[in-house]
Amino acid sequence: MKLLISFFIVAFAFNQVLATEINQEFTYPGGIYVEEISSDQFQNGFYYFDMKVPTVKKNNSYYLLFGIPRDIDPNTKQIILKNGNDDYIITLILKKKYFGKQYINISKIFTEPDDAVIERIVKEKNILNSARSKWISNDIDTNFIFPVIGRISGVFGTNRFYNNKRGNYHNGVDFAAKTGTNIIAPSSGIVLLTGDFFYNGKFVYMDHGMNLKSIFIHMDSIKVNIGDYVNKGDIIGHVGNTGKSTGSHLHWSVTLNSVYVDPMIFINNTIIH
């Protein structure tokens, strides 16, 4: 009898170790909020305004992954999502996050584009928005690896000033590296779009599943095609200095529910343990 009781105690402890845990250290602007949901809620799906919100199944449990907008009002306490026909309320306790400043000198063609360039920019933005709205129901692997080996020269969220005029905040991470350095897929996914755009230069846009997406810009060359399934670690192209760039580097952005979040959250980290 004692042996049987000991067995159940050990088994219970082992199951506790295997129990899934949620990492909530990233609930700050530009971060990620995670919450366990039911299987029915998982099947119904979630919307943030008109944007689908990623969900993931792990260890026979289901989780919501909500990308917190970088410019969210820090006093926000609740976010209302749609789950089927029902409202679903997220209760936030936002941590403070400091975003620094970065000053960059760049050609005026990027800060004062003429009418022809503006027409091109609008056309390319519409193409990107169309790809951004696509939904691919692949399982998510949130444990990313670095897309390139290089010095981090720009971090997420920085308030950027171009030629001393304020621009958009920096929506990704920059890796300084020599032109031609391999760029690899940080997680598996499907190539949604490639191209050579005015601001992005040569780029690859990937969907890792469930509206978790990556874009890699300023590339020198592209080694994948639209529709390709890419495994984590596969080469997708090479570092370059194309588009709105002041030196050879990779800019990598990540979006959840079409909201930019800090890509470094995913590096060598399991958000759901």
For residue 242, CA distances in Å to 60, 236, 247 come to: 44, 16, 9
Domain at 2-91, CATH from 1.20.1690, 2.40.50, 2.60.40, 2.60.120: 2.60.40
pLDDT value, residue 16: 35
Q: Within 10 Å of residue 99's Cβ, how many Cβ atoms?
A: 16
Joined together, the tokens standing for residue 90 give 């997220």
Q: What is the pLDDT of residue 9?
A: 40
Written as tens digits, the pLDDT of the chain (273 aa) is: 444 444 334 343 333 333 456 667 899 999 999 999 999 999 999 999 888 999 998 888 999 999 999 999 999 999 999 999 999 999 999 999 999 998 888 888 888 899 999 999 999 999 999 999 898 888 888 999 999 999 999 999 999 898 888 888 999 999 999 999 999 999 999 999 999 999 999 999 999 999 999 999 999 999 999 999 999 999 999 999 999 999 999 999 999 999 999 999 999 776 776
Cβ atoms 57, 42 nearer than 8 A: yes
For residue 189, the cross-strand partners are 230
Task: Give the pLDDT score at 23.
Answer: 66
Architecture, CATH, for domain 101-266: Distorted Sandwich (2.70)
Token pair, residue 72, equals: 């969210």
pLDDT at 11: 40
**Quick count: other Cβ atoms within 10 Å of Cβ 1?**
5
Q: What burial letters (b/e) apply to 129-154, b meaning 16+ CB within 10 Å?
A: eebbeeeeeeebbbebebbbebeebb
Give the residues across from 221 on adjacent strands: 238
For the chain, domain boundaries? 2-91, 101-266
Record the tokens describing residue 5, joined without a space.
């009781």
First to last CA, the chain: 35
H/E stretch holding 123: helix 115-132
Dihedral sign for Cα 167, 171, 172, 173, please: positive
* pLDDT for residue 270: 67
Which 8-state DSSP code applies to residue 63? E
Place of tokens 């690859």: 204
What sign results for the dihedral spanned by CA atoms 168, 271, 134, 198? positive
